[in-house]
Amino acid sequence: MRVFVTGASGWIGSAVVPELIGAGHQVVGLARSDDAAERLGAAGAEVRLGTIDDLDVLRRTAADADGVIHLAFKHDLAFTGDFAGATAADRAAIEAFGDALAGTDRPFVIASGLLGVAPGRVATEVDGVSVADDAAGPSMRHRNGHLTVALAERGVRSSVLRLPPTVHGDGDNGFVAALVAIARATGVAGYVGDGSHRWPATHRTDAARAFRLALEKAPAGSTLHAAAEQGVRIRDVAEAMGRHLGVPVQAVSPEDAPAHFTWLAPLIGTDSPASSTATRALLGWQPTGPGLLEDLDRGHYFA
Ligand X SMILES: NC(=O)c1ccc[n+]([C@@H]2O[C@H](COP(=O)([O-])OP(=O)(O)OC[C@H]3O[C@@H](n4cnc5c(N)ncnc54)[C@H](OP(=O)(O)O)[C@@H]3O)[C@@H](O)[C@H]2O)c1
Binding to ligand X by residue 113, rule CB under 6 A? yes
When the beta carbons of 112 and 282 are compared against ligand X, the nearer one is 112
Assess 138 for contact with ligand X (CB under 6 A): no
Tell which phi-psi region holds residue 205, choosing left (phi > 0), alpha (psi between -120 and 50) or beta.
alpha
| 21, 43, 44, 51: which one binds ligand X (CB under 6 A) | 51
Distance CA(11)–CA(225), nearest Å, equals 19
For 201, left (φ over 0), alpha (ψ -120 to 50), or beta?
beta
Distance CA 206, CA 39 (A): 21
Q: How far is the CB of 255 from ligand X (least distance, A)?
A: 27
CA-based nearest residue to 206, from 233, 243, 238, 169: 169
Among positions 33, 80, 253, 277, the unique one binding ligand X when judged by CB under 6 A = 33
- Name which of 262, 116, 254, 253 is nearest 183 in CA terms: 262
> Which residue's CB is nearer to ligand X, number 60 or number 155?
60
Beta strands 107-113 and 67-70, pairing class: parallel
Distances (CA, A) of 100 to 66, 97, 237, 295: 11, 5, 43, 40
The minimum distance between CB 227 and ligand X, in angstroms, equals 11
Number of Cβ atoms within 10 Å of the Cβ of 187: 11
Shortest distance, position 107 Cβ to ligand X, whole Å: 17
56, 45 Cβ separation under 8 angstroms: no
Q: From 65-73, 143-151, 191-199, 251-259, give the range in contact with ligand X by CB under 6 A.
A: 65-73
How far apart, in whole angstroms, are the C-alpha atoms of residue 279 and residue 108?
A: 16
Q: List the one residue from 5, 20, 27, 36 that touches ligand X (CB under 6 A).
A: 36
Query: How many helical (H) and strand (E) elements, i.e. helices and strands, does the chain have?
Result: 13, 12
Q: Tell me the closest approach of the beta carbon of residue 211 to ligand X, in angstroms.
A: 9
Rounded to whole angstroms, the Cα distance separating 245 from 147 reads: 43
Main-chain dihedrals φ then ψ at residue 165, nearest 5 degrees: -65, -25
CB of 43 to ligand X, least distance (A): 12
At closest approach, how far in Å is the CB of 256 from ligand X?
A: 25
Q: Mark the segment that binds ligand X (CB under 6 A) among 73-81, 100-108, 233-241, 267-275.
A: 73-81
- What's the closest the beta carbon of residue 246 comes to ligand X, in angstroms? 26
Beta carbon of residue 253, minimum distance to ligand X (angstroms, whole number): 26
Residue type, 20: L
Tell me whether residue 77 or residue 251 sits nearer to ligand X (CB atom). 77
Does residue 73 bind ligand X (CB under 6 A)?
A: yes
Residue 174 CA to residue 167 CA, distance in Å, equals: 8
What is the footprint of ligand X within residues 199-238 (CB under 6 A)? none
Task: Single out the residue of 5, 20, 45, 111 in contact with ligand X (rule: CB under 6 A).
Answer: 111
167 binds ligand X (CB under 6 A): yes
Q: In the set 3, 37, 47, 52, which binds ligand X (CB under 6 A)?
A: 52
Is 11 a binder of ligand X (CB under 6 A)? yes
Residues in contact with ligand X by CB under 6 A are 7, 9-13, 30, 32-33, 36, 51-52, 71-75, 111, 113, 163, 165, 167, 173-175
